[in-house]
């Protein structure tokens, strides 16, 4: 039977509506699939291994969540800008992707539970003696992941959700911010030499250590800039899904699964 264009349009709209109907938990259980979202180049949290498969700390935790739900896991890796913008409209179910809560993100996300914490640090070329602390970032070009809390920190307007009573210190006047889609390219630019494309980077302590272990051209300088809680993020306004994710992460923490995954990838337990 041939449908007229208006009828086809209505049918498509109804189909899309039904695809996203109900709560996230209902949809995940009905489809038998959890769609997780994370970055492709953020080792040791998420990266492509030698078999060209996604691997890492965040990947293993997402797998454990899917296993507790009794469903299969499908991982998507859009750009961080897309992930952090929210308004997923049912495309993704959960972000176990090293997201730090902020007031801006709280407008579009719920943060059911923190699953690890790690400091933000400055990374420079190992032979660079110009930058020894955060105050030396003044006037320098600093690489960060686009739309990250590191970018907000360098803009001096970062407010971490749940820690509003702990104002951050900004010992620099102004920094030239260089946003990147992924840290692999940023580290490649920094490796060209101080001041060529970048003077420094701001990133996660664990990520920095991982890079330095593989490439001794880099070093960490100064004290950590701030403590960065990392949370599971979901689309805003689904209390049933919020409660389920909180319950599952709690179980994984209590039975030692989070600690085992952390020790596997980090060498210590950062999930306490």
CA distance 213 to 210: 5
Q: Are residues 103 and 146 in the same domain?
A: no
Domain total of the chain: 2
167 shares its domain with 204: yes
* Domain shared by 103 and 237, yes or no: yes
Whether 14 and 84 share a structural domain:
yes
pLDDT on residue 166:
76
- The CATH number assigned to the domain holding 44 equals 3.40.190.10
CA atoms of 221 and 205, how far apart (whole Å): 11
pLDDT of residue 20: 41
- pLDDT, one tens digit per residue, over 194-242 is 999 999 999 999 999 999 999 999 999 999 999 889 999 999 999 999 9
Percent of the chain with pLDDT over 70: 92
What residue numbers bound the domain in which 49 lies? 5-115+230-265
- Residue 272 — pLDDT band, cuts 50, 70, 90? confident
Q: What is the DSSP string of 163-214?
A: -TTSPPP---S--EEEEES-HHHHHHHHHT-BTTTBSEEEEEHHHHHHHHHH
Q: How does residue 4 score in pLDDT terms, banded at 50, 70 and 90? A: very low
């Amino acid at each position: 039977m041939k449908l007229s264009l208006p009828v086809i349009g209505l049918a498509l709209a109804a189909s899309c509506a039904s695809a996203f109907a109900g709560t996230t938990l209902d949809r995940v259980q009905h489809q038998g699939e959890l769609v997780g979202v994370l970055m492709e180049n953020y080792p040791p949290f998420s990266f492509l291994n030698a078999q060209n498969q996604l691997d890492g700390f965040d990947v293993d935790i997402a797998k454990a969540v899917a296993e507790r739900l009794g469903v299969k896991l499908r991982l998507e890796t859009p750009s961080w800008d897309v992930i952090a913008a929210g308004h997923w409209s049912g495309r993704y179910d959960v972000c176990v992707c090293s997201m730090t809560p902020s007031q801006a993100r709280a407008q579009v996300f719920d943060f059911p539970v923190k699953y690890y914490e790690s400091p933000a640090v400055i990374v420079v070329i190992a032979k660079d003696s110009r930058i020894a602390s955060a105050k030396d970032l003044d006037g320098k070009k600093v690489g960060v992941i686009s739309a990250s809390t590191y970018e907000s920190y360098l803009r001096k307007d970062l407010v971490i959700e749940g820690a509003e009573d702990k104002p951050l210190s900004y010992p620099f006047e102004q920094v030239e911010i260089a946003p990147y889609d992924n840290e692999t390219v940023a580290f490649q630019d920094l490796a060209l030499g101080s001041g060529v494309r970048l003077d420094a980077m701001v990133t996660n302590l664990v990520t920095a250590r991982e890079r330095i272990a593989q490439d001794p051209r880099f070093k960490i300088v100064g004290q950590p800039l701030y403590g960065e809680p990392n949370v599971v993020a979901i689309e805003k306004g689904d209390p049933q899904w919020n409660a389920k994710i909180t319950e599952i992460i709690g179980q994984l923490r209590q039975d030692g699964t989070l600690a085992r995954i952390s020790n596997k990838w980090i060498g210590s337990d950062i999930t306490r």
